[in-house]
Amino acid sequence: MVGQAGQQSVEYTLTMSDALNTKLNRIAAANGGDPGEVLAKAIALYEVAVTAQARACSIAVLDANNQVQTKIEGL
């Protein structure tokens, strides 16, 4: 199977709660994408977080003035 940008892709069967499925679809609809794109972006973001943690860095949400609004912990 060939996915986006001609990359080879695999197919997964994913079981999730109704609440998580609703959240996934809401996020996808809000961004004009589909659930698969949301999951792919989530995995990419998680990879960034894991790499940062391995380098003893923190993950945070910053405001327009680069002030920490939320520190993300427990990944």
**Separation CA 73–CA 30 (nearest Å):** 25
CA angle (6 as vertex; 27, 2 as ends), nearest 5: 80
Mean pLDDT of 45-63: 93
Q: How many domains does the chain have?
A: 1
Give the domain extent around 38: 4-72
Whether the pLDDT of residue 33 is over 80: the answer is: yes
| pTM, 2 dp | 0.75
